[in-house]
Structure 1
Amino acid sequence: MIGTLFLCSCFKEYKGKINIDGSSTVYPLTEAVAEEYRKVDPDIRVTVGISGTGGGFKKFLRGETDISNASRPISKSELEISRQNGIEFIEIPVSYDGMAIVVSPKNTFVDYFTVDELKTMWSPESQGKINTWKQVRASWPDTPLKLYGAGTSSGTYDYFTEAINGKAKASRGDYTASEDDNVLVQGVSSDVNGMGYFGLAYYIENKNKLRLVPVKLTADAKAILPSEKTVQDGTYQPLSRPEFIYVNVKSASKPFVKDFIKFYLAHAAPLATEIGSVPLPTEVYQLSYKRFLKHTTGSMFENKSTVGVNLFKLLSDKN
């Protein structure tokens, strides 16, 4: 019929929505899981944002998100806010990450870093004082040292500073900082004098633009590169760490959130390998799922460090 008006809705009606935000390091895994889950249940809308671990927790503790990606455990101050705001959560480890220490492919003189050399570069006392490569190691050239690292809202920043400088958030401030690891990749890859750190998945994704540098625990130790094997067996220390998702307990009661978490933990291992992260042992995923089903709330890491942690033992003790 002439003049008939056809109306269509441009917006899909979803049966449920899951809002996720937080760590840029955990983002690739969670987004990969979400992408696969959308194929299984297209009627559930899953959105994954990147605000950094700290930024994600701010939203999560205001009740704005269902799940928070985190590359470190929830902090003492964040726990206080969770209690004040009445936000209960379930803490679930989902992968390991080996922190990638990288330089430009045009850098031909760096063969390895020791933990002490990384501390010389990044300690708070080095700000304004350690400005050249030669000051780090006498055999290196007298050229500017350009540093690229995680922003202060990032869990990567907290972990790296604790592992290298001995205290979370203890770092020099005169470096190029970003919560977006892609910005750091671009910075290091285009700067012959640059070095930086971020999650292994971002190195894997950009390995044609960067050079991965092995790390020695001490000057006499073997230089070790992060890989699935060295991160899982604990030899890539102290730069191996667990990564997490935090689930709001109220959200966890929704059937579609339960389905998503079950799907996440069932598929995390192969997807972690695919995107360049490091899967947890099967037993750890099983214990994590048991923790979720029991709605075990709170953090396993309250007043504890994650450096060198044995997740299987910790989860076994808590279950």
Structure 2
Amino acid sequence: MYRKALFLALLLIFTLGLGCVDDGSVVLIDGSSTVFPITEAVAEEFQIVNPSVMITAGVSGTGGGFKKFCAGEIDINGASRPIKESEITACEKNGVEYIELMVAYDGITVVVNPDNDFVDYLTVEELGEIWKPESRVEKWSDVRPGWPDREIFLAGPDTDSGTFDYFTETIMGESGASRSDYTKSSDDDMLVRAVAGEKDALGYFGYAYYAENQDKLKAVPIDAGEGPMYPTPETIEKKEYSLSRPLFIYVNTESLERPEVFAFVEYYLQNSGFFAKDVGYVSLANETKNEMLERLK
């Protein structure tokens, strides 16, 4: 309660300079389902003392969000990977200029059902065999001798997802290189339910969704050559976990000229550490956070 009250007080102080914001002002956000929990938390707090500003946040995935962002349809895009060259070209074509702002760190978490008592870890090579295009892995016994002769139920992000892009690039060495015969969704909560509801499921998504559902899921340590490593705030922050990655928001610079957008983004950056940790991600170092604030100016 004290932390909540403290942040509300700080937010109230922060908003004293927002008298120039018009009633009915709207900030449009879309993009990554991984970044969404941070954005949602920031938006809820911001709107408590700025009720005249409406923050609308959609979840189209990183790629889906960039389609809207580069068309000039939204002010901010949440992204769980850096912008692609094709997206840079699309923004340039439409005259959309932007700034890239890092807001937190995440570790893509590979999960199985908690009733799974044999998957003690997976190597990067084994993950590659499971998820590569035209993979012949159908059963657990295809992954490692001695594992059950039962079919694996695979669940993961859809192809518009930045998590999909980052996972395939890291594991397969090529963004987008993945088998297609798995249960896909842009909704990470749906992926949580899919793995939690199937004894032989295997899936992956952002760490916050695992952290919030540890009673329903079992995280799998990943061995990238130096022994199995669990995703934890410590291993993610130190980049010891092989699927650690930064999370971003991209902001249209023309939108930043509107006081409500600038105020929201500034508040987002100033308090990103609190909100990232609050929803289950890893906060930026103060030096990095200050660099992002300088970039905003």
Asked if these proteins are the same fold (TM beyond 0.5), I'd say yes
Partner of 2:230: 225
User: Is 1:20 equivalent to 2:25 in the alignment?
Assistant: no
User: What SS does the aligned partner of 2:107 have?
Assistant: strand
Q: Is the 8 A contact 2:141 2:149 kept in 1?
A: yes
Specify which of 257, 273, 276 is matched with residue 269 of structure 1.
273
State how far apart, in whole Å, the 2-side matches of 1:224 and 1:273 are: 21
| Pairing 1:95-244 to 2, within 5 Å after superposition | 95-126=104-135, 129-218=136-225, 221-237=226-242, 239-244=243-248
Q: Which consecutive residues of structure 2, in runs of 5 or more, have no partner in the other structure?
A: 1-21
User: What SS does the aligned partner of 1:134 have?
Assistant: helix
User: What SS does the aligned partner of 2:114 have?
Assistant: coil
User: What SS does the aligned partner of 1:153 have?
Assistant: coil
Query: Displacement of 1:40 after TM fit?
Result: 2.7
State how far apart, in whole Å, the 2-side matches of 1:73 and 1:14 are: 34
Query: Displacement of 1:80 after TM fit?
Result: 0.8
User: Is 1:64 equivalent to 2:69 in the alignment?
Assistant: no
| Pairing 1:305-316 to 2, within 5 Å after superposition | none
User: What SS does the aligned partner of 1:174 have?
Assistant: coil
Q: Is the 8 A contact 2:75 2:251 kept in 1?
A: yes
Partner of 2:257: 253
State how far apart, in whole Å, the 2-side matches of 1:226 and 1:150 are: 19
Q: Is the 8 A contact 2:270 2:293 kept in 1?
A: no
Return the TM-score normalized by structure 1.
0.85
State how far apart, in whole Å, the 1-side matches of 2:235 and 2:84 are: 27
Return the TM-score normalized by structure 2.
0.91
For residues 263-310 of structure 1, the C-alpha deviation after alignment (integer angstroms, 9 at most, x for no partner) is 1011110111111011111111110111111xxxxxxxxxxxxxxxxx
Partner of 2:85: 76
Aligned residue pair count: 276
State how far apart, in whole Å, the 2-side matches of 1:222 and 1:274 are: 29
User: What SS does the aligned partner of 1:196 have?
Assistant: strand
For residues 50-105 of structure 1, the C-alpha deviation after alignment (integer angstroms, 9 at most, x for no partner) is 11111111111111111011111111111111111111111101111101110001
For residues 153-208 of structure 1, the C-alpha deviation after alignment (integer angstroms, 9 at most, x for no partner) is 00000000000000000011111111111111111111111100000011111111
Q: Is the 8 A contact 2:165 2:175 kept in 1?
A: yes
Q: Is the 8 A contact 1:102 1:196 kept in 2?
A: yes
Partner of 2:11: none
User: What SS does the aligned partner of 1:135 have?
Assistant: helix
Q: Is the 8 A contact 1:151 1:177 kept in 2?
A: yes
The residue type paired with residue 234 of structure 1 is K
Specify which of 27, 38, 41 is matched with residue 32 of structure 1.
41
Query: Displacement of 1:15 after TM fit?
Result: 4.2
User: What SS does the aligned partner of 2:140 have?
Assistant: coil
Partner of 2:16: none
Q: Is the 8 A contact 1:14 1:45 kept in 2?
A: no
The residue type paired with residue 276 of structure 1 is G
State how far apart, in whole Å, the 1-side matches of 2:149 and 2:23 are: 59
Identity of aligned residues (%): 48
Q: Is the 8 A contact 2:116 2:199 kept in 1?
A: yes
Larger-Rg structure: 1
Q: Is the 8 A contact 2:33 2:186 kept in 1?
A: yes
State how far apart, in whole Å, the 1-side matches of 2:124 and 2:118 are: 18
Q: Which runs of 4+ in 1 moved over 6 A?
A: none
The residue type paired with residue 241 of structure 2 is Y
Q: Is the 8 A contact 2:266 2:296 kept in 1?
A: no
Query: Displacement of 1:222 after TM fit?
Result: 2.4
Q: Is the 8 A contact 2:255 2:261 kept in 1?
A: yes
State how far apart, in whole Å, the 2-side matches of 1:257 and 1:19 are: 9
Partner of 1:305: none
Structure with greater helix share of residues = 2
